[in-house]
Amino acid sequence: MTMRRTITILGATGSIGTSTLDLVERDPEAFEIVALTAQRDVAGLAAAARRTRARLAVIGDETLIAPLREALAGSDVEAAAGADAIAEAAALGADWTMAAIVGTAGLRPTMAALGHGRTVALANKESLVSAGALMTEAARQAGATLLPVDSEHNAVFQCFPHHDVSQVKRVILTASGGPFRTMPRDEMARVTPAQAVKHPNWSMGAKISVDSATLMNKGLELIEAHHLFPVGADRFAVIVHPQSVVHSMVEYVDGSVLAQMGTPDMRTPIAHTLAWPKRMGTPCAPLDLAEVGRLDFEEPDLGRFPALGLAMAALAAGGARPAVLNAANEVAVAAFLDGRIGFLDIVLIVEKVLERYDPAPPASIDEALAIDAEARAVARTATELQTA
Ligand code: NAD
Ligand code: MG
């Protein structure tokens, strides 16, 4: 009998979390669920925990502990609540942990999972942007394996098997260009949250969908790539590829360019991290290139999408600049989704916060979280001024 692998999913009710559950639940003999976590979706969390016979279900919002207990009544699933309980669940040490909380809220739980020296599949890019050096160093010290779930980084990982940076000329991240790829800037001023979250190729959570529309997502991904593949900040490039079939590329010194392709379905990169170093079957539609017909590529337009330029500058400057950029963006995107600011205000707010707050690089996770909190406070003030 082969041992079942123990699994924890942080952010189990989100887009990545439910895609992960979809794969895991297809093979109940292979996987045993330790913990599932969510922030507010009690019904979704309880249903998943019951179906998978999870040991523990944790809801982030402490006021929801009673409804969670009620929803789990009669099952063997233990219930807990609060941010600390999520980090404790991550620290239980599953063989494989999916880090799929959105935002820097995922930083502490992801660090707790890494501390066990097992495998962490990382979707939560914001935590890597905010504290990448601390996180990769913690993974190294604990002997943990950090596997990239983000489709671009998973593609690079697959095209970069030996991790010999001296042979790599460029790492080229592809970007779909988002729903406003061809839209003039004056029209962008009027787009609604509903339009912004309607991604042409991928179905994702609201925050990353808005990031894809501003191209901030690609900026965050450049910083993410820099931590995962340390080839040097000047050796990354972005190319817009509207079909989202080529998920990213690695160019070698001899002129060879390796690409990873597939239909835009996050279950493929998730399955890659779940089975790694082996492969597993997925229900994803096979790539039919004849049906796709053509693959287009174009340079990103930094004039219409200034968020990408801001992120590039933050990457080049290093230190705490990426953390400030990320925190300000989280606040501004939430304000846009709330209908409090316009689409173009998002990047204006990020720019203002970067001008006003320039802390020294964090030496610990506590310092990284303090910088994140301060940058959010500055961003909230900038958001209020923008709405006044
Ligand atoms: P989502 O909004 O659909 O889900 C987020 C999950 O995190 C939910 O389970 C939610 O309950 C939980 N959560 C939210 N706020 C929390 C908090 N403060 N504390 C604890 N838990 C909290 O988001 P998603 O699209 O699944 O994205 C998750 C992460 O994966 C993000 O960092 C995103 O950038 C990254 N990612 C997503 C995709 C995608 O296709 N959706 C692709 C690449 C990377
Ligand atoms: Mg991506």
pLDDT at 2: 63
Residue position matching structure tokens 């070698």: 252
**Contacts for 331-339 with beta carbons within 8 Å, 24 or more apart?**
331/376, 331/379, 331/380, 331/383, 332/379, 332/383, 333/207, 333/210, 333/211, 334/207, 335/383, 335/386, 335/387, 336/193, 336/196, 336/210, 337/193, 337/197, 337/206, 337/207, 337/210, 339/193
Q: What is the dihedral of CA 218, 40, 56, 52, to 10 degrees?
A: -70
Q: Which residue among 41, 122, 208 has the greatest number of ligand 1 atoms within 8 angstroms of its CB, and so is best to mutate?
A: 208
- State the angle between helix axes of 15-25 and 267-275 in degrees (0 to 180), rounded to the nearest 10: 60
Cα 148 to ligand 2 centre (Å)? 10
What average pLDDT does range 286-313 have in this prediction? 98
CATH number assigned to the domain covering 319-388: 1.10.1740.10
Round the average pLDDT of the chain to a whole number and report it.
97
Hey, where are the domains in the chain? 5-148, 150-310, 319-388
Q: What is the pLDDT of residue 289?
A: 98
- What's domain 5-148's superfamily in CATH? NAD(P)-binding Rossmann-like Domain (3.40.50.720)
Q: How confident is the model at residue 163 (pLDDT cuts 50, 70, 90)?
A: confident
User: Rg of the chain's alpha carbons, rounded to an integer?
Assistant: 20
**pLDDT tens-digit profile of 24-33?**
999 999 999 9
Contact, 272 vs 158, CB < 8 A? yes
Q: Is the pLDDT of residue 296 over 90?
A: yes
pLDDT computed for residue 221 by the predictor: 98
Sort 349 into a burial class: Cβ within 10 Å, 0-12 / 13-18 / 19+: buried
CA 336 and chain centroid, separation? 19
pLDDT, tens digit (0-9, with 9 covering 90-100), for 269-293: 999 999 999 999 999 999 999 999 9
Over residues 357-386, the pLDDT tens digits come to 999 999 999 999 999 999 999 999 999 998
Is the pLDDT confidence value at 3 over 90?
A: no
Q: What is the pLDDT of residue 7?
A: 98
Summarised one tens digit per residue, pLDDT across range 52-111 is 999 999 999 999 999 999 999 999 999 999 999 999 999 999 999 999 999 999 999 999
Write down the pTM of the prediction.
0.98
Task: State the amino acid at position 25 in one-letter form.
Answer: E
Q: How far apart are CA 175 and CA 308, in angstroms?
A: 11
- Least confident range from 98-102, 232-236, 342-346: namely 232-236
What is the rounded distance in angstroms from the CA atom of residue 103 to the CA atom of residue 190? 26
Stretch 227-233: mean pLDDT: 94
Whether the predicted pLDDT of 1 surpasses 70 = no
In contact, 324 and 359? CB cutoff 8 Å: yes
pLDDT, tens digit, 9 for 90 and up, residues 315-332:
999 999 999 999 999 999
Kindly state the tokens that stand for 150: 């983000």
* pLDDT value at residue 202: 85
Name the amino acid, one letter, at 217: N
Evaluate: CB of 202 within 6 angstroms of ligand 1. Answer: yes
Q: Scan for tokens 């316009």, then name that residue.
A: 342
* Locus of tokens 């942080």: 10
Only one residue has tokens 């203002």, namely 352
Check if 5-148 and 319-388 are the same fold: no
Residue 387, token pair as written in the block: 């709405």
Residue 282 Cβ < 6 Å to ligand 1: no
Residues 341, 333: Cα–Cα separation, whole Å: 9
Confidence of residue 208 (pLDDT cuts 50, 70, 90): very high
Confidence of residue 161 (pLDDT cuts 50, 70, 90): confident
Yes or no: say if 122 and 146 are a contact pair by the CB < 8 Å rule: yes
183: DSSP letter: -
Q: Is the CB of 60 under 6 A from ligand 1?
A: yes
For the stretch 313-319, contacts whose Cβ atoms lie closer than 8 Å and that sit 24 or more positions apart, written own/partner, are 314/219, 314/223, 314/354, 315/219, 315/222, 315/223, 315/226, 315/233, 315/236, 316/233, 318/233, 318/361, 319/360, 319/361
Output the CA 173–ligand 2 centroid distance in Å.
9
**What per-residue string of b and e applies to 87-107 under the rule 16 or more CB within 10 Å gives b?**
bbbbbbebbbbbbbbbbbbbb
Q: Which of 22, 102, 267 best tests ligand 1's pocket when mutated (most atoms within 8 Å of CB)?
A: 102
Does the C-beta of 57 come closer than 6 Å to ligand 1? no
Cβ of 333 below 6 Å from ligand 1: no
Mean pLDDT of 325-347: 98
